[in-house]
Amino acid sequence: MTNTASEPTETDESVTEYEAQLNKVLADTDETAAGEDEVSLQLPSLGLSRRDFMKAGAAVGTIGSLAGCAGVMNNGEGNSGGSQNHSGSGDVPEHFVPPGEHDEYYGFWSGGHSGDIRVYGLPSMRELTRVPVFNREPAKGYGFDDGSSQMLEDAGGYTWGDSHHPSLSETDGKYDGRYIYVNDKANGRVARVNLKYFETDAITDVPNVQSVHGCCIQSPDTDYIFANSEFRTPLPNDGRDIDNPDKYVSLFTALDPESMEVLWQVEVDGNLDILDTDKDGKWALASAYNDEEGVEIEEMTKNDRDFVKAFNVPAIQEAVDAGNYREVNGVPIVDGTKGSSLNQGDEPAVRYIPTPKSPHCVEVTPDGKYGMVAGKLSPTVSIIDIEKLSTEPDSSKVIVGQPKVGLGPLHTTYDDRGHAYTSLFIDSQVVKWDIETAVNSPKQSEEAILGKIDVHYNPGHIQAVQAMSTEPTGDWLVVLNKLSKDRFLPVGPIYPDNDQLIYIGNDKDDEQGGMELVSDHPVYPEPHDAIFATKDKIEPAKTWDKSDYKGEKEYVTESNSRVDRVDDETVEVYTSVKRSEYGLRDFRVKEGDEVTITATNVEGSQDIVHGLVVPEYDINIALAPQDTREVTFTADKPGVYWVYCTYFCSALHLEMRSRMLVEPRD
């Protein structure tokens, strides 16, 4: 704890204010919960006073010295806090990956509001590359050539996005290495990254929704991509019902994984939040809050329960096929609200499963048996028995276990030995628990807990290797901590996040359940989630395959490099690119021409990338071997413009140039 200077009254005020706010939420919950069934918050059974709960919460809410203390106070027992970059015991396998050697796993991080996907190796935690998705990225020329800038324009023309939940495509429940799908929480979009080229190849701006939060593929065969809109809005949101929050809706959207077109949407009561599916292609489970359908925080937290929504995908598809929907902005919208006639009978389209208020997430176990709903405000995880969704008509009986895990549970992940790991935001810990024990012990009990490990600080997502597929491998776990505080050299008021690597391969009977903190890694803000695949699942191309763009773009060789004048104001420039020259040493256009440059990197050797940039024209494309890119612009400034290469490709890299000569038009 280095940030202990306690001065500012403003900080104290904000803590007090936050305490008061949370106090109100909890007071309401306690009152309404008294004498009710087990879905209530049940704070007294925590063995903690509400005051303790409050303090932890208050510290979390304030980015000051207190939050750091919260982690340490809760730790108390003197366990692993000291281990930073070395394992504390000899039982942890080597996580240091020596120079020249490769990692065992690929990790794909969503970048958050940087809008990208980051690619890391595990266990080294070395960042390997970034794949720009919703953001422009000059280092890769993304958003600068015609193809990618047109794609961004067609997807709404936004300049940024907030990527949250990356989902790897699956075949038969196993990662097939074809695609990653990821949502844009900011602008209500879903994108696809092609893992042959590690490049975004499609973005869909989902109609009728404002923010897409939950996003996942449908297991086991990626037949759909699902996307949850978190914010309720009028339908359509065209100026009607502005002052009528009752009429705002939240939508569950299905997209086609190949065409990326929106297929249908389902309207529900309350908000929708995060998503996962079963492993049989039937149920999609969405966490949800704000069953009150309020628009202000006091309204949103009035009731002591919310409802997880279970979407019966075949039943919904049947309703769509039967024309049982209304259409808004060209999308079929199925009525999945509580009173809908589609929700009656043996195969209801949507089931509403009661849980404690404001649950955060749903994550399905690798065997597809259970969906875990982390309580966030409740110190529990609710276990949904997925088979019972089809057989048990009483929704409250679908929850078959509810272990008390600790304060602020947000996300759950799995190993290959029947254990669950849940992040505790307020306690700044990861808790390991046994799934079958939790199902077989009384609700609210701690019998299933196998151990807890401290992390620093305030974890959000946690993810174990291969845990979203049917093949978890159970050796590594990454904890995405929201705060890093005093863990690294200070870098100004916007800190890095701190992703911590934990070894989970030992089921030791100690207070940490055998979990071992292995290393800390600062990360550029602010990744939200990650997903890991063994290295054999991903087979990236080493160079482009020109047959992949045949018919769309010309492959320009040295001998067919040329300038084609199409008409008086349109010019097409074709140039090859290789070490250390462009096919055209210069090219001539007229002031005011619309110029399209088509350029091909004709080299076949891997890792030889060339750039083609034109200073003062904002032109910047990057060309991997065998790739062709196009860029279109208006030559509105007469003069001489050097064209140069941005990648240091050879000893004659600096001499690798061409000239664009723009003649004045008289």
Residues that bind ligand CUK (CB under 6 A): 164-165, 213, 274, 360-361, 410-411, 460-461, 528-529
Dist. CA 167–CA 150, nearest whole Å: 25
424 binds ligand CUA per the rule CB under 6 A: no
Q: Does 227 bind ligand CUA (CB under 6 A)?
A: no
CB-nearer residue toward ligand CUK: 139 or 297 = 297
DSSP 249: B
Helix axes 50-61, 9-33, angle to 10 degrees: 140
Contacts of 383 (CB under 8 A, 6+ apart): 370, 371, 372, 373, 399, 400, 401, 402, 403, 435, 438, 439
**Chain Cα centroid distance, residue 651:** 41
Minimum distance, C-beta of residue 556 to ligand CUA, in the bound complex (Å): 15
Inter-residue contact 592 to 568 (CB < 8 Å):
no
Amino acid at 649: C
Residue 405 binds: one of ligand CUA, ligand CUK, none (C-beta under 5 to 8 A by kind): none
Q: How far is the CB of 384 from ligand CUK (least distance, A)?
A: 18
Least Å distance between CB 460 and ligand CUK? 3
Instruction: Output 193 or 577, the one with its CB closest to ligand CUA.
Output: 577
Rounded CA-CA distance 424/241 in Å is 39
Interacting partner of 653 out of ligand CUA, ligand CUK, none (Cβ under 5 to 8 A depending on kind): ligand CUA
Among 50, 653, 657, 659, binds ligand CUA (CB under 6 A): 653
| Nearer residue to ligand CUA within complex by CB, 542 or 665 | 542
By CB under 6 A, the residues from 592 to 621 that bind ligand CUA are 610
Separation between Cα atoms, residue 585 and residue 580, nearest integer Å: 11
Q: Which residues of 448-472 are buried (b: 16+ CB within 10 A; e: fewer)?
A: bbbbbbbbbbbbbbbbbbbbbbbbb
Of the pair 369, 461, the CB lying nearest ligand CUK is at: 461
In the complex, the smallest distance separating the C-beta of residue 163 from ligand CUA, rounded to whole angstroms, is: 31
For ligand CUA, which is the closer residue by CB, 61 or 141?
Answer: 141
Residue 423 CB, shortest distance to ligand CUK, in Å, is: 8
* 305 sits near ligand CUA (criterion: CB under 6 A): no
Among the residues of 269-407, which ranges form H helices?
A: 297-300, 313-321, 386-391
Least distance (Å) between residue 577 CB and ligand CUA: 7
Among 33, 350, 478, 656, binds ligand CUA (CB under 6 A): 656
Tell me which of ligand CUK, ligand CUA, none is bound by residue 300, counting a contact when its beta carbon lies within the kind-specific cut-off of 5 to 8 angstroms: none
Crossing angle of helices 65-75 and 50-61, in 10° steps, is 140
**Backbone torsion region of residue 318, taken as left when φ is above 0, otherwise alpha when ψ lies between -120 and 50, otherwise beta:** alpha
Is 430 an interacting residue with respect to ligand CUA (CB under 6 A)? Answer: no
* Rounded Cα distance, 463 and 481, in Å: 12
Q: What does the DSSP assignment read for 541-606?
A: -SS--GGGGTTTS----STT-EEEEEETTEEEEEEEEETTEES-SEEEEETT-EEEEEEEE---ST
Which partner from the list ligand CUK, ligand CUA, none does 514 bind, CB cut-off 5 to 8 Å by kind?
Answer: none
When CB distances are held under 5 to 8 angstroms depending on the partner's kind, the choice from ligand CUK, ligand CUA, none that residue 488 binds is none
* Calpha distance 573→562 (Å, rounded): 6
Q: Indicate whether 647 belongs to the interface with ligand CUA (CB under 6 A).
A: yes
Binding site partner of 645, from ligand CUK, ligand CUA, none, Cβ cut-off 5-8 A by kind: ligand CUA
Q: Among residues 489 and 651, whose Cβ is nearest to ligand CUA?
A: 651
Q: How far is the CB of 653 from ligand CUK (least distance, A)?
A: 42
Residues of this chain, 373-412, that bind ligand CUA according to CB under 6 A = none
Alpha-carbon separation of residue 445 from 215, 404, 440 (angstroms): 32, 6, 10
**CB of 348: closest distance to ligand CUK in angstroms?**
27
Min separation Cβ 649 and ligand CUA, Å: 3
Burial class (CB in 10 A: 0-12, 13-18, 19+), 423: buried
How far, in whole angstroms, is CA 162 from its chain's centroid? 8
- Nearest approach in angstroms of CB 312 to ligand CUA is 55
Least distance CB 71 / ligand CUK (angstroms): 17
Binding mask 616-645 for ligand CUA (x = CB under 6 A): -----------------------------x
β-pair partners for 424: 409, 429
Tell the smallest beta-carbon distance from residue 625 to ligand CUK (Å).
37
**Which CB atom, from 336 or from 625, has the smaller least distance to ligand CUA?**
625
Residues 6+ apart with CB under 8 A from 296: none
C-beta closer to ligand CUK: residue 192 or 213: 213
Question: Which lies closer to ligand CUA via its Cβ, residue 231 or residue 647?
Answer: 647
For ligand CUK, which is the closer residue by CB, 165 or 419? 165
Q: Name the token pair of 416.
A: 């290959």
Dihedral Cα 374, 380, 384, 385, nearest 10 deg: 140
The 10 Å CB-count burial string (b at 16+, else e) for 561-599 is bebeeeeeeebbbbbbbbbbbbbbeebebbeebbbbbbb
| Residues engaged in binding ligand CUA (CB under 6 A) | 610, 645, 647-649, 653, 656
